[in-house]
Amino acid sequence: MTQISIPAEVPAQVGTVKAAAPAPVDAYSGAWRSVLDQPLGPRAELDRMRETAPFYDTTVYEIDGRRVRIGDHWLTDFASCNYLGLDLDREVIAAVPQYLDRWGTHPSWSRMIASPEPYAAIEAALADLLGAQDALLLPTITHIQLSVLPALVAQGSLFVEVHAHQTAHDGAVMTAARGGTVARFREDRLDRLERRLRKAPFPRLICVDGVHSMTGNAPPLAELLQVARAHDALLYIDDAHGFGVVGERTPHETSPYGARGNGIVRHLGQSYDNVILVGGFSKAYSSLLAFVACPTPVKNYLKSAAGSYIFSGPSPVASLATGLVGLQINERRGDELRARLYALTRRLLDGVHSLGLRTLNTSGFPIIEIPLADADDAEALGHFLYERGVLAGVVPYPIVPRENVGMRVQVTAANTEAEIDDLLTVLTDAHARYPLALADGP
Ligand SMILES: Cc1ncc(COP(=O)(O)O)c(C=O)c1O
């Protein structure tokens, strides 16, 4: 892994970079002020930490491999989802200028008007990699959830898994506003989903996450597909965290993540019948781009029915370049990167298990949530990790249920063995002060 050091243009600053107090909002009328001052309800805790904690909403001044500088404080980044480490890869970085020379920085057309040729190249490469009939590129998964979900469901019914990513629930709100019927379900109670599906208006769509962004685990795909196919429903899978990380199983695979990183459907040996696979480049591929893998008639329908194809601006050319070159690197040495990612993740998980700690991760994939014994310790744990040089997600209630409040770390191929070992030392010390939940605990 080539590591880069980006020279600091902003000098090191001493201490925290947080503003002491929010600036007054004199430019707004009192009516607007009451909006800004309204109670944030369940998000109040997150908002308070955002205002005060150095590990939230912070500014990074310098990057050196997976080390980041915040003020004058260097930390190891375990919050990055750049799983393959392509954000730091010299081959990717070196390839970007020629795309900028040829296409400029940003085409600015909506895709409905025109798309620079790399779009077609990426869509073809993606369909080939995934083994899907076709693929449609849009800037982000957020765009896809908000426009593709309502377009596919129309006046039919949408069932969203309760733990699906917030952007899927936002897409559900949009679907309801367009006249669709929306309900939630739990993937551990598919019997209930089946009962409701029997009476649900057509077309029917079931929406789940692939590799889950908090637990790091896969959904019960075979069971979900069986239910979907039995009730003539589409299964829409947001595999933001699986794409690029897990892939088809082969005798020659370099790790249990499988080969080629072509996503959770291929990893679990399923076909694309009744499946809409959504994925993004913003995690494993370190780029601003996302896709819907689907049959060509669905792609053509979405071109006219999904607002983000017609009305949104495109991805910047640098993102098209990093996406395309990332796919080329994936074909050549992606499995090597995934073998490294797997080995680092295994090292961390083995350490967590030997400390006797509970983690939600049962898959071995590189998202590791470690709950606290007492959810009230979340902020103190966050400060401790920060002081000890670990940048990790501190996940408060209600982002996760109270029993799962704790820390979330991601491993990337750009981390080092020494960084994983340091993290385990910090975890041991953190556990002595702010007890983490035990694997065999109550
Ligand atoms: C499961 C999941 N879906 C969607 C998103 C949003 O993706 P994007 O940044 O492409 O909008 C994320 C990002 O964190 C995610 O974790």
Per-residue pLDDT reduced to its tens digit, 385-409? 999 999 999 998 888 889 999 999 9
Q: Which atom of ligand 1 is nearest to the CA of 142?
A: 11
Taking the centre of ligand 1 as the mean of its atom positions, its distance from the CA of residue 141, in whole angstroms, is 6
pLDDT tens digits, 357-368: 999 999 999 999
- Per-residue burial over 281-304, b = 16 or more CB atoms within 10 Å of its CB, e = otherwise: bbbbbbbbbbbbbbeeebbeebee
Assess whether the C-beta atom of 209 lies below 6 angstroms from ligand 1.
Answer: yes
Number of domains composing the chain: 1
Q: Quick check: is 34 in a domain?
A: no
Assess whether the C-beta atom of 410 lies below 6 angstroms from ligand 1.
Answer: no
- Closest of 436, 435, 415, 419 to residue 85, by C-alpha: 415
Q: Quick check: is 324 in a domain?
A: yes
Assess whether the C-beta atom of 215 lies below 6 angstroms from ligand 1.
Answer: no
pTM across the whole model: 0.93
Residue 239: give its domain's CATH number: 3.40.640.10
Say how far apart CA 289 and CA 282 lie, in whole Å. 6
Assess whether the C-beta atom of 82 lies below 6 angstroms from ligand 1.
Answer: no
Q: What is the pLDDT of residue 334?
A: 98
Tell whether the model's pLDDT for residue 292 goes beyond 60.
Answer: yes
Average pLDDT (152-166) is 98
Taking the centre of ligand 1 as the mean of its atom positions, its distance from the CA of residue 109, in whole angstroms, is 24
Assess whether the C-beta atom of 214 lies below 6 angstroms from ligand 1.
Answer: no
Assess whether the C-beta atom of 290 lies below 6 angstroms from ligand 1.
Answer: yes
C-alpha separations of 114 from 122, 136, 309, 393, 404 in Å = 15, 14, 10, 39, 46
Tell whether the model's pLDDT for residue 13 goes beyond 70.
Answer: no
Assess whether the C-beta atom of 142 lies below 6 angstroms from ligand 1.
Answer: yes
Q: What is the pLDDT of residue 52?
A: 87
Neighbours of 323 (CB within 10 A): 28
**Which of residues 210 and 400 earns the better pLDDT score?**
210
Say how far apart CA 84 and CA 283 lie, in whole Å. 8
CB 76 within 8 A of CB 389: yes
Local structure of residue 5 (DSSP, 8 states): B
Structure token digits, residue 125: 């490469």
- Closest of 152, 145, 141 to residue 295, by C-alpha: 152
Q: Quick check: is 256 in a domain?
A: yes
Assess whether the C-beta atom of 89 lies below 6 angstroms from ligand 1.
Answer: no
Tell whether the model's pLDDT for residue 369 goes beyond 90.
Answer: yes
pLDDT tens digits, 307-348: 999 999 999 999 999 999 999 999 999 999 999 999 999 999
Taking the centre of ligand 1 as the mean of its atom positions, its distance from the CA of residue 356, in whole angstroms, is 31
pLDDT tens digits, 23-40: 555 677 777 878 888 888
Taking the centre of ligand 1 as the mean of its atom positions, its distance from the CA of residue 130, in whole angstroms, is 19
Protein residue with its CA nearest to atom 13 in ligand 1: 240
Taking the centre of ligand 1 as the mean of its atom positions, its distance from the CA of residue 198, in whole angstroms, is 31
DSSP strands (E only) in 71-228: 73-77, 134-138, 157-161, 181-185, 204-209
Query: What range does the domain containing 247 cover?
Result: 91-330
Structure token digits, residue 64: 């050196």
Taking the centre of ligand 1 as the mean of its atom positions, its distance from the CA of residue 264, in whole angstroms, is 16
Query: Whole-number mean pLDDT of the chain?
Result: 94
Protein residue with its CA nearest to atom 12 in ligand 1: 240
Tell whether the model's pLDDT for residue 21 goes beyond 80.
Answer: no
Q: Quick check: is 111 in a domain?
A: yes
Q: Quick check: is 345 in a domain?
A: no
Q: What is the pLDDT of residue 424?
A: 98
Q: Quick check: is 433 in a domain?
A: no
Assess whether the C-beta atom of 213 lies below 6 angstroms from ligand 1.
Answer: yes
Tell whether the model's pLDDT for residue 276 goes beyond 50.
Answer: yes
Q: Quick check: is 183 in a domain?
A: yes
**Which of residues 36 and 436 earns the better pLDDT score?**
436
Q: Quick check: is 209 in a domain?
A: yes
CA 202 to chain centre: 30
Tell whether the model's pLDDT for residue 87 goes beyond 60.
Answer: yes
Tell whether the model's pLDDT for residue 8 goes beyond 50.
Answer: no
